[in-house]
Structure formats: C-alpha cells, structure tokens
Amino acid sequence: MIGCGFVSLVGAGPGDPDLITVRGLKALQRADVVVYDRLVNPHLLAEIPAHATTIYVGKGPEFKAATQHEIEEILISEALRGKRVVRLKGGDPFVFGRGGEECQALAAAGISYEVVPGISSALAAPAYAGIPLTHRQVAASFTVITGHTAGPDSCAIDWQRLPQSGTLVILMGVRNLSHIAQQLLAHGHSPDTPAAIVQQGTTEQQMVVSGTLQNIAERSQAAGVRPPAVIVIGDVAALHQELDWFVPQQAREPLVNDPFSDFLQAPQTEAVQRY
C-alpha cells in the first residue's frame, strides 16, 4: 500500500560521529533499512539495529555504487514494503546532497518522509580549523559554492557575480582548486587574499593548509590534500593561526564485535543490484 512506510533523510554531519543530531541518531536507531553514503562515519553504523538492512550507495570522484535514480528507487521500494527507511547522508541533505531530488521522488510516489538537517562541513570544517565564517571586524557574510562543477570546461559558476567581500566556502573543489583560484584572481580578487583548505575536518585525520589565493593550490598539492576537503577564501582564513583550537586525538578504538566490519571492507553493492 502506497505511503505505508516512512523515509527519514538524515544528515550524518561533517565527519565526527558525535556531531549527528539527537533526532538523526534516534531515527537511525529505529530504522528497518539504512541507505548510506561514502562520507558517513563507520562508527554511526554501530547504532543501526541488528535486524536492519544496510545498503551502501556511495559516490566518489571516480566511482558510483548506485546512480541517483537507483537510490530513489530503493527508497520508494523499501517504503512501499512498509519499512522505516533512513537515507543517511554526510553533512546536510539539502547542501549539495541531492536531498531535494529525493524528496521530489518520494512526494511523487506518495511516500511520507521527513528531513532531519545535519551539520554541513561548510560550517563545521572551518570551525574546527579555527576559522569563523563571519566576524564583525572581518566578514559580514559568507557564500557557499560547489567546486565540483568549477572545472575549466564548465560554465556552471558565474565568477563575475561572486562577491569579493565576505567569505567564500567551496565544497568538493580539490581537483579544480587551481582553476578556481585562477578564475577568482581574473575576476578581481586580490592574490594576497588569505586562503585555507581543511581536509577531513572534525576527524582525527584533520589537516589544514594555509596560504593565499595566489599560492593555495600549489601548497595544497605539495601537502597531498585529497577529498573530502573544504576550501575557505577570505580574510577570516588568516584567523586560523590565532584560533586553531582543535587537536586531532588518537584514532578511536575499533568497535568491539562490530557486526558491520566485514560489510565496511566490502560494501554491499549486491543489495543495490536487486533494484
């Protein structure tokens, strides 16, 4: 019967599993099915009930475990079976997470759903690097864009209209950082503008590379920065040296008798194929 199940689109947060919201954690703990992404911290999977089905649908720069259409079919199919489904996404479902597309698909199929916001890495990674996105003496606004579509062969970003004041936050921009810097310089930004890149923000593997708009791409490459990483461009980035408070701790202890350890080593793409 259409609508007999229920889907929760849950933001898993920026990386540290402790940063999931209380509501998101409760939804995870009572799920029948969890459909989760590549950037979800494995420790959150320990909160899934033993009876629940887990379906990995992660996407990366060079691979996809499932297409967006397949993911939407999974959510609808499981809900139509009367299941309580959690769509677990890194960050926030509505910040470059395609949560809006999934809600449209669910609404068109008559499936009841809710959105549980998560802490976006656009906010959390700079915060853990000691970079306030706004500051009364430095920046009165911030802009968040995706760097995924900012390559040299793309015209998805109107560089001319990006503000030259305030703070610019770029997600998914590591591969295109050199081109991004060139475009910002060509459209009026000063080469001395402070810049920083935060790799794996909020986690034990966090690394921060600082510089200016002129040299941040070169420094990032020299440091071996890899996704996921958040790029911050603007005067607030210079505050990293003064306000850097986060000291990555020793790696978390492995989960004892973790029922998902084998699953994490080999994601269950077979579960996707049946759809």
pLDDT in tens, 8-55: 999 999 999 999 999 999 999 999 999 999 999 999 999 999 999 999
- Mean predicted lDDT score pLDDT of the chain: 89
Select from 166, 152, 228 the least CA-distant residue to 194: 166
pLDDT in tens, 184-239: 999 999 999 999 999 999 999 999 999 999 999 999 999 999 999 999 999 999 99
- Is the residue at 255 inside a domain? yes
Q: How confident is the model at residue 269 (pLDDT cuts 50, 70, 90)?
A: very low
Residue 26 annotated in active site: no
H-helix or E-strand containing 11?
Answer: strand 6-11
What is residue 255's predicted lDDT score, i.e. its pLDDT? 40
Residue 89 annotated in active site: no
> Do 200 and 97 sit in the same domain of this protein?
no
**Residue entry with tokens 């958040």:** 230
Residue 87 carries which side chain, given as an amino acid letter? Answer: R
Q: Which domain holds residue 165?
A: 130-243
Helices (H), 33-157: 68-80, 99-108, 121-128
CB atoms within 10 A of CB 164: 12
- Whole-angstrom distance, CA of residue 56 vs CA of residue 34: 8
- Is the residue at 70 inside a domain? yes
The CATH number of residue 207's host domain is: 3.30.950.10
pLDDT in tens, 65-103: 799 999 999 999 999 999 999 999 999 999 999 999 999
pTM of the full predicted structure?
Answer: 0.86
pLDDT in tens, 140-179: 999 999 998 766 766 678 899 999 899 999 999 999 999 9
CB atoms within 10 A of CB 165: 11
> Do 206 and 259 sit in the same domain of this protein?
no
The SS3 of residue 168 is strand
CB atoms within 10 A of CB 67: 12
What is residue 248's predicted lDDT score, i.e. its pLDDT? 84
- Is the residue at 125 inside a domain? no
- Is the residue at 155 inside a domain? yes
> Do 94 and 10 sit in the same domain of this protein?
yes
Among 26, 59, 207, 244, the active-site one is 59
> Do 231 and 263 sit in the same domain of this protein?
no
Among 16, 83, 89, 172, the active-site one is 172
Among 16, 32, 37, 92, the active-site one is 37
> Do 35 and 107 sit in the same domain of this protein?
yes
> Do 234 and 138 sit in the same domain of this protein?
yes
The CATH number of residue 47's host domain is: 3.40.1010.10
- Is the residue at 1 inside a domain? no
> Do 202 and 256 sit in the same domain of this protein?
no
Residue 172 annotated in active site: yes
> Do 100 and 153 sit in the same domain of this protein?
no
Domain total of the chain? 2
- Whole-angstrom distance, CA of residue 4 vs CA of residue 79: 7
> Do 137 and 239 sit in the same domain of this protein?
yes
> Do 115 and 11 sit in the same domain of this protein?
yes
What is residue 153's predicted lDDT score, i.e. its pLDDT? 66
- Is the residue at 181 inside a domain? yes
